[in-house]
Amino acid sequence: MGYWILNESLNLILLLVWLGVNVYLFIDTFQWYEKEDAYLYTRVMLGSTLAWARASAMCLNFNCMLILLPVSRNFISFLRGSSTCCRRTLKKQFDKSLMFHKAVAYMSVLLTLIHIVAHLINIERYNLGQSKEAGELQSKLSCIGRNPNESYLNPIRNYKTDTTKEILVTIAGVTGFMITLVLILIITSSTELIRKSFYELFWYIHHFSIIFFIGLLIHGAGQMVRSQTLQSLLLHNVTYCKDYYNEWGQMEQCPIPEFSGNKPATWKWILGPMVLYMCERIIRFCRSQQEVIITKVVTHSSGVLELQMKKRGFKMQPGQYIFLQCPLVSRLEWHPFTLTSAPEEEFFSVHIRVVGDWTEALFKVYIPEKNMFREPWKLPRLAVDGPFGAATTDVFDYQVSVCIAAGIGVTPFASLLKSIWYRYCDPDTELKLQKVYFYWICRDTYAFEWFADLLLSLETQMAEKGRAHFLSFRLFLTKWDESQATHFAMHYDEKLDVITGLRQKTLYGRPNWDTEFKQIADKHSSSNIGVFFCGPQALSKILCKMCTSYSSINPKGVYFHYNKENF
């Protein structure tokens, strides 16, 4: 319970606040449209579906206001870097910004479904109001507007109107159809399968959000939902006059009611976030136009490309990531890559593994088939946007840090481990961090031999400085065949590992996390320990559970603070 309160309480509070605001807006708006006198005659025509449509629209406005904020990366990075109160806890919330973005998107889908169903029922009820089967009051209300200088309540003016055609010729119908189609495309293309297999498709379709917000701004301009005007309410008291509808226009106290449409209000909700996001895009565009000098191009085994670059004014922290664009490959596509260099180095670098069409094209652009040497200034132009903050930048805030990587998730830790080495060896730097445990779980090391070389270099340098105890490596290989197993067994007694060349031997199989966490908890029984993970969701859940299980109830005991990479 103590661990949960420390790590998850603020997350739960913020989630409950968001849900609470949605519930409040829905109920408050629903009650307003169910009770307000100005909508009494509209309710006669439509029933409670009027309130369902308007309440869901209000919540949609609220969520569409929020959905752009988590993807305003510069804004989030600024908040993350400037938070001083509850610093560590607040940072964790900023690291979950994309999760909140997804939650808001799913809520918007639910609200959109309610809104569409309610309005489809409304349009049918408007149509039935023109029929002979409609009640007398409904027929009377539907007839208003046929005489000169009369305002109408029922937007469908003729009996047996083709409601489908009617929807498709109105502003609300056309924009509603467009918004819904774009939302369906965005949600379906955002699934994990599409993002991993067809990232370009996900990237392009996600930018249809421009159409979504333009349609959202125009959607209410048709003013389909109408209510009695304020001046009409003063002259035509609905409480009294609704029972004397046959005498409207003949009685002085019951003139024919006048109606008007609701003025569009969506712009009031989304204009601010849209301006903020436009500023975000302008900043990112300006940064993308700045000159990037590629100082070195290195090819590693298993199709890994290393790019070392320089850019004026570029400042980074370990674990951050950037977006890259190569105009020769695509003028529109930007792809995120973790920085693998340390802030202390004179350049910044990324390691790019060929796993898709874009990365394959990039590899061919920078490494021609003839493999001819080219001067850096002759290399194709590369645009860089960033850097942006990530969870691993907080590794120095703890006395003990546990870094866990699975497969390609190892890349954020390249920068981190380098920076730890530079800071630890600098006598002028006061380092709170006293111990680092690094776990790497992978199916094979061949695809990441560049990282194994980095580990070997760090281990050698630490040993030469007499500080081998500061950094502990635990490498786990989860896939091997019988011939490999025999080879490993034959060379097990050698001083250096047969795979990595490290003094720390590679372990075969998956780690027993209960044993690992228990050993760390026993060694650091009164410490705040930061656990940083980059890898698949299934393993993330296990590690989060381990952090909960091995955090002490005693306030002076050991606490594991779980942090997961999200970008």
**Are residues 465 and 566 part of one domain?**
yes
**Are residues 299 and 276 part of one domain?**
no
**Are residues 395 and 329 part of one domain?**
no
Give strand ranges (E) for 276-389: 292-300, 304-311, 321-325, 335-338, 348-353, 383-388
Looking at the domain assignment, is residue 156 inside a domain?
A: no
Q: Regarding beta strands 471-477 and 435-442, do their DSSP bridges make them parallel or antiparallel, or are they unpaired?
A: parallel
Q: 3-class DSSP state for residue 317?
A: coil
**Are residues 101 and 9 part of one domain?**
yes
pTM higher than the cut 0.85: no
Looking at the domain assignment, is residue 427 inside a domain?
A: no
| Weakly modelled stretches of the chain, pLDDT under 70 | 1-9, 80-92, 132-134, 158-163, 166, 302, 368-377, 427, 444-449, 465-468, 479-507, 555, 566-567
**Are residues 296 and 168 part of one domain?**
no
Residues recorded for the chain? 567
**Are residues 30 and 52 part of one domain?**
yes
CATH of the domain at 470: 3.40.50.80
**Are residues 358 and 437 part of one domain?**
no
**Are residues 214 and 310 part of one domain?**
no
Q: CA 335 to CA 350: how far, in whole Å?
A: 12
Looking at the domain assignment, is residue 39 inside a domain?
A: yes
User: What number of H helices and E strands is found in the chain?
Assistant: 21, 14
What pLDDT score was predicted for residue 7? 59
**Are residues 439 and 376 part of one domain?**
no
Looking at the domain assignment, is residue 310 inside a domain?
A: yes
**Are residues 212 and 101 part of one domain?**
yes
How many domains, the chain?
Answer: 3
**Are residues 105 and 77 part of one domain?**
yes
Looking at the domain assignment, is residue 257 inside a domain?
A: no
CATH of the domain at 345: 2.40.30.10
Burial 226-245 (b: 16+ CB within 10 A, else e): bbbbeebbeebebeebbeeb
**Are residues 394 and 379 part of one domain?**
no
Looking at the domain assignment, is residue 422 inside a domain?
A: no
Looking at the domain assignment, is residue 383 inside a domain?
A: yes
What pLDDT score was predicted for residue 86? 45
* CA geometry: angle 390, 395, 400, nearest 5 deg: 155
Backbone angles phi, psi at 253, to 5 degrees: -80, -5
Q: Are 413 and 392 in contact (CB under 8 A)?
A: yes
Task: State pLDDT tens for residues 233-246.
Answer: 888 888 888 888 88
Contacting residues for 507 by C-beta, under 8 A, at least 6 apart: 474, 475, 476, 477
Domain membership of residue 533 as a residue range: 390-407+432-446+460-479+496-537+544-567
Q: CA 281 to CA 283: how far, in whole Å?
A: 5
Instruction: State the DSSP code for 170.
Output: S
What pLDDT score was predicted for residue 85? 44
Closest by alpha carbon to 107, among 62, 169, 52, 44?
Answer: 62
348 bridge partner residues: 309
Looking at the domain assignment, is residue 353 inside a domain?
A: yes
